[in-house]
Amino acid sequence: MSMASRKQEIVRRIALLAHEQPVLGSGLWFHTDVRNNFYYASYLFAAAANPDLQLSFDRTEAQAKACRIFTELLELQDRDPHSGTYGHWPLHLHPVPREAEPNSLPVELMGSLLMYFFHRYGAGLPERLRASMRQALEHVYRSGFFRKPLRDYNHHEAKYTAAKLLFGQWFGDEELLQDGWQSLKSTLLHVQTKGMPEYGCLPWFWHWVQAFTCALEMVRQEEIAADLRAMLDYLWTERSLYYVKGAWAGPHSRGLSHDIPKDANVLFDYVQYGDFELPHELPRVEYAGFLSYEAPAQAKAAALDRSVPAEVKRVVTKQTDSGEVRLNTYAYMTQHYAVGGVLERFREYDNEQHRWDVTFPLVNHDSVNQLFFFQPGDHYSAGDPRHQSDGGDIALNRNVSIALYPAAHGSGERMVGILPKGDWRMEERSLYGFINDEVYAAVFLLLPYAAEQLDDRITITGENGSNAVVVEVISTEEAGAIGIGSFDSFVAAMRGKRPQFEDAAKGFIRYTSLLGNQVALSVEI
């Protein structure tokens, strides 16, 4: 199936969801996030306008329904030029959408996507709605929300940059267009030389992709388009480095709960790579069915063929009030699993740094696909394993990860672990797993633990005190090459390989993997 076909599949699928979604008394589908109304209306209108799509509903009725949603949505925009939120929409609409306070976030991406939708489908809109949408874009332009200098090189500024290009061209504002082009060149230079400060940042990486793909779809100047292609080549090469069958391996500076401990925001990956089945639940639809840009051939081929394992080592530069901080990231990518993380702890926004994990392909949608341990920190709550303590050190080498968590640095919480579903055998301080019928895993803990079986995972809770964990994963093919032909023989082999935890209290752990690699963690405590 081609990228175009996969986009059409997404359009049809989300249009069906939109058609079946009950309309609330406010005239909208959702009060949780204003943008979801925009996305669903876009898909429903686009599907109904496409005669090649097989649909189970009346096209005229569907387009009328989408137009009613658009009309109500546009009414929520702040149109007062004297307001501090001029041109903006509310974000959360509960309980009364028309009384909700405007927020700076929705317009960042929705403003550009609204322009794209109007450009592509505006001729088919009723005249009154077409005029209202045109006026909404004028309010966005006059608001100047995007007129901000580059500072952090984050997803907000990426969207400002794309908006400068789009609104500068649309409204014939040459100064704004040139400002956007300069911002684009500066951003591209920064990420090429210093890495993305928002490493593995989901879902915000997809905002970069959408914003710049949207700009490329509409910008007419070839010199600017060339730089946009260079930016998108960089972004998709970066994505491809950490791709393993629908999943994003390696560390994440930030993430939402639908991507940790399970990769669920997968629509853009599905369009690009297409080597996994779409899950039933789609937590963020955005514009994956509309915008696409094919990754560089070499990067895409490497992402789709992990038959030869590869190590990815990168240095990411973070800007702080006291100067630059360099973070070292690592990922070991194979066909059946990946091991990755960032060696240094860094306090990210909302304390969402996801330090390390073992990532598995998206082949079992009933299970989480990440295995990791952490010491809970600020904002942690049971069921949300995204918030870690400032303590802890890790060592990563190929298929092995070691982590040490001194109790003195924690928030009083015990070390917690997340394991995917599989065949697990549990002993007092060890666990042995067979995952996806293709990977064996051994987990060694310093202290005894308690395990809780949940619908989609196993949660591990260690005893009080300083704790440590060593994880080794190995595919059945790798294991077979060294004479391990079954799960039973793997468990028997690993029972004799318990790490040297004796010096863990002094900050030293040593382990020799099944493949003969020696991995050691040595830190000052």
In the block, tokens 């686009």 appear at 46
pLDDT digits (tens, 9 = 90+) for 318-343: 988 888 999 999 999 999 999 999 99
In a domain, 334, yes or no: no
Whole-number pLDDT of residue 278: 94
**Are residues 296 and 372 part of one domain?**
no
Express as a percent the part of the chain with pLDDT over 70.
Answer: 99
From 36, 35, 25, select the one nearest 95 (Cα to Cα).
25
**Are residues 198 and 216 part of one domain?**
yes
Cβ-Cβ contacts under 8 Å for 351 (sequence gap 6 or more)? 377, 378, 379, 387, 388
β strands within 321-435, DSSP E = 323-333, 338-342, 356-359, 370-374, 393-397, 400-405, 416-419, 423-426, 430-435
Per-residue pLDDT for 412 more than 80? no
Question: For the purposes of burial, counting CB atoms within 10 Å of the CB of 407, is it exposed (0-12), middle (13-18) or buried (19 or more)?
Answer: middle
CA distance 486 to 359: 22
Whole-number pLDDT of residue 321: 86
In a domain, 474, yes or no: yes
Instruction: Please report, for residues 5, 122, 508, 516, the alpha-carbon distance to residue 472 in angstroms, rounded to integers and kept in the order given.
Output: 39, 55, 18, 12
> Where would I find the H helices in 242-396?
267-272, 297-304
CA distance 447 to 417: 13
CA distance 380 to 118: 42
In a domain, 301, yes or no: yes
Amino acid at 212: F
Confirm if 490 and 432 have CB atoms less than 8 A apart.
Answer: yes
Three-class SS of 458-512: EEEEECCCCEEEEEEEEEHHHHHHCCCCCHHHHHHHHHCCCCECCCHHHCEEEEE
Average pLDDT estimate for 402-425:
86
Average pLDDT estimate for 501-521:
90
Average pLDDT estimate for 240-248:
98
Its sign, for the CA torsion 193, 198, 200, 206, is negative
Q: How confident is the model at residue 317 (pLDDT cuts 50, 70, 90)?
A: very high
**Are residues 385 and 507 part of one domain?**
yes
pLDDT digits (tens, 9 = 90+) for 142-187: 999 999 999 999 999 999 999 999 999 999 999 999 999 999 999 9
Domains contained in the chain, number: 3
Whole-number pLDDT of residue 411: 53
Whole-number pLDDT of residue 477: 97
CA distance 295 to 358: 25
Whole-number pLDDT of residue 292: 97
Angle at CA of residue 270, ends 62 and 272, nearest 5°? 110
pLDDT digits (tens, 9 = 90+) for 4-13: 999 999 999 9
Whole-number pLDDT of residue 523: 86
**Are residues 177 and 141 part of one domain?**
no
**Are residues 107 and 64 part of one domain?**
yes
Question: Three-class SS of residue 102?
Answer: strand
In the block, tokens 């995972």 appear at 457
**Are residues 124 and 167 part of one domain?**
no
pLDDT digits (tens, 9 = 90+) for 197-231: 999 999 999 999 999 999 999 999 999 999 999 99
Q: How confident is the model at residue 409 (pLDDT cuts 50, 70, 90)?
A: low
CA distance 171 to 173: 6
Q: How confident is the model at residue 435 (pLDDT cuts 50, 70, 90)?
A: very high
CA 303 to chain centre: 17
Of 145, 164, 195, the residue at which a domain comes to its end is: 145
Q: How confident is the model at residue 507 (pLDDT cuts 50, 70, 90)?
A: confident
Beta bridge partners of 68: none
Is the entire prediction scored with pTM above 0.95?
Answer: yes
**Are residues 228 and 101 part of one domain?**
no
To 10 degrees, the CA torsion angle through 361, 363, 367, 368? 20
Full residue range of the structural domain in which residue 190 is found: 149-307
Question: Three-class SS of residue 89?
Answer: strand
pLDDT digits (tens, 9 = 90+) for 41-53: 999 999 999 999 9
Whole-number pLDDT of residue 354: 98
Using alpha carbons only, how large is the chain's radius of gyration in Å?
A: 25
Kindly tell me the number of DSSP H helices and DSSP E strands found in the chain. Answer: 13, 20
Of 99, 121, 145, the residue at which a domain comes to its end is: 145
Cβ-Cβ contacts under 8 Å for 53 (sequence gap 6 or more)? 8, 11, 12, 15, 47
Please give the DSSP secondary-structure letter assigned to residue 99: G
Per-residue pLDDT for 407 more than 90? no
In a domain, 319, yes or no: no
Question: For the purposes of burial, counting CB atoms within 10 Å of the CB of 455, is it exposed (0-12), middle (13-18) or buried (19 or more)?
Answer: exposed
**Are residues 435 and 393 part of one domain?**
yes
Exposure class string for 129-147: b at 16+ Cβ within 10 A, else e? bbebbeebbebbbebebbe
Of 83, 118, 145, the residue at which a domain comes to its end is: 145
CA distance 227 to 216: 9
Average pLDDT estimate for 250-266:
97
pLDDT digits (tens, 9 = 90+) for 106-139: 999 999 999 999 999 999 999 999 999 999 999 9
In a domain, 219, yes or no: yes
From 387, 418, 386, 391, select the one nearest 404 (Cα to Cα).
391
- pLDDT averaged over every residue in the chain: 96
Confirm if 166 and 220 have CB atoms less than 8 A apart.
Answer: no
Average pLDDT estimate for 300-317:
97
In a domain, 350, yes or no: no
Confirm if 303 and 290 have CB atoms less than 8 A apart.
Answer: no
pLDDT digits (tens, 9 = 90+) for 463-479: 999 999 999 999 999 99
Average pLDDT estimate for 264-269:
98
Confirm if 333 and 240 have CB atoms less than 8 A apart.
Answer: no
In a domain, 157, yes or no: yes
Question: For the purposes of burial, counting CB atoms within 10 Å of the CB of 102, is it exposed (0-12), middle (13-18) or buried (19 or more)?
Answer: buried
Angle at CA of residue 491, ends 489 and 497, nearest 5°? 110
**Are residues 94 and 204 part of one domain?**
no
**Are residues 437 and 476 part of one domain?**
yes
**Are residues 154 and 251 part of one domain?**
yes
**Are residues 171 and 136 part of one domain?**
no
**Which one is predicted more confidently, 113 or 391?**
113
In a domain, 323, yes or no: no
